[in-house]
């Protein structure tokens, strides 16, 4: 309840502050507590990349219902989202007025993890095991898809409704497998000395090599301020390029700006080193979104009747704000 009150208070403060900001003030709302997905933002802030372009850049914590709604309402110009969770917001008669303007991590690095002793070394072997689900139709459909595609019986998977907050603890209960992001929970499991099997979704279904996470922006802001948006994205891009080339230093910058991460230096450095080559990966530049991969996931969602209506090809993202 205390946390809830803080979140509500924070939202009210955000709304209250939004009208007092000057024209060169830009706000970005995170998707979650600060982590290594966000390091490039803090690097850009710390290294003065926003000062260089005359932007007062502010990073704020997310409201309980996530960043997209706040960005769509104009409470922040930019935010962090995920292609999968954006789908229902786009598949409407009146889509939420936001657009993905950069992929933070070039490929989907999430997947299933289990203790090695469980023997789940491929999706079909999830049968006859217990999987912790947050009961999302898309999530369950994805699990069913890779299990079935691999020759397994999804009906033999026991679904345990559970919101996993700590991967290390969760795998030492009666839960056999959970969905994780490799750069964070996977590193935590490594640091805890647990031997695991990790099954990256994209390795078992190309449809699942979507963008997770992405930077989103308010459509009205982009239309009214295209040059400013390009400058902001240029500064952010420099931040992620720095983080790719200097993972330890970038990790220290993240810790410097996020006091609650102090004391976790080893974990942050390991996460940063794992993630550094993933930010850009095989893309020509950091942030570029591949239209074929973007469309492939949304086509799959429509084919599976997981969204209210098909999302037009190329809808919901743009690369025009990523400059060389």
Q: For residue 292, what is the enclosing H or E element?
A: helix 291-303
Q: What is the pTM of this model?
A: 0.90
Q: What confidence tier does 163 reach under pLDDT thresholds 50, 70, 90?
A: confident
Burial of 169 (0-12, 13-18, 19+ CB in 10 A): exposed
| 229 contacts 222 by C-beta, under 8 angstroms | yes
What percent of the chain is predicted at pLDDT more than 90? 90
Q: What tokens appear for 279 in the block? A: 């930010």
Better-scored residue on pLDDT, 7 or 94: 94
For 131-148, the pLDDT digits (tens) are 999 999 999 999 999 999
pLDDT average, residue stretch 206-216: 97
Distances (CA, A) of 198 to 122, 130, 208, 297: 9, 15, 15, 21
Whether 64 has a pLDDT exceeding 90, the answer reads no
For 250-302, the pLDDT digits (tens) are 999 999 999 999 999 999 999 999 999 999 999 999 999 999 999 999 999 99
pLDDT of residue 323: 86
Give the residue carrying structure tokens 């946390």: 3
pLDDT average, residue stretch 146-166: 95
pLDDT of residue 324: 81
């Amino acid at each position: 309840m205390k946390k809830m009150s803080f979140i509500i208070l924070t939202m009210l403060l955000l709304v209250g502050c939004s009208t007092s900001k000057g024209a060169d003030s830009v706000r970005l709302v995170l998707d979650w507590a600060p982590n290594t997905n966000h390091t490039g933002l803090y690097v850009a802030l710390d290294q003065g990349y926003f000062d260089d372009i005359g932007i007062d850049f502010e990073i704020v914590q997310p409201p309980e219902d996530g960043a997209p709604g706040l960005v769509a309402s104009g409470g922040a110009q930019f935010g962090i989202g995920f292609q999968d969770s954006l789908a229902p917001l786009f598949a409407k008669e009146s889509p939420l007025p936001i657009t993905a303007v950069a992929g933070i991590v070039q490929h989907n690095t999430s997947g299933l993890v289990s203790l090695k002793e469980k023997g789940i070394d491929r999706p079909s072997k999830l049968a006859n095991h217990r999987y912790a689900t947050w009961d999302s139709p898309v999530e369950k459909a994805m699990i069913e898809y890779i299990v079935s595609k691999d020759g397994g019986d999804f009906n033999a998977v026991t679904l345990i409704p559970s919101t996993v907050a700590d991967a290390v603890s969760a795998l030492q209960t009666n839960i056999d497998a959970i969905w994780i992001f490799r750069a964070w929970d996977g590193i935590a499991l490594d640091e805890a000395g647990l031997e695991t099997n990790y099954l990256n979704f994209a390795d078992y279904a190309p449809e699942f090599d979507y963008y997770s996470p992405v930077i989103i922006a308010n459509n009205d802001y982009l239309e009214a301020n295209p040059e400013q948006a390009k400058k902001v994205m240029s500064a952010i891009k420099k931040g992620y390029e720095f983080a790719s080339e200097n993972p330890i230093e970038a990790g220290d910058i993240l810790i410097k700006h996020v006091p609650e991460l102090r004391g976790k230096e080893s974990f942050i450095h390991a996460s940063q080193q794992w993630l550094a080559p993933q930010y850009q990966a095989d893309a020509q530049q950091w942030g570029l979104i591949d239209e074929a991969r973007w469309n492939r996931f949304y086509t799959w969602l429509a084919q599976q009747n997981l969204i209210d209506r098909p999302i037009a090809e190329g809808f919901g993202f743009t690369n025009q704000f990523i400059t060389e």
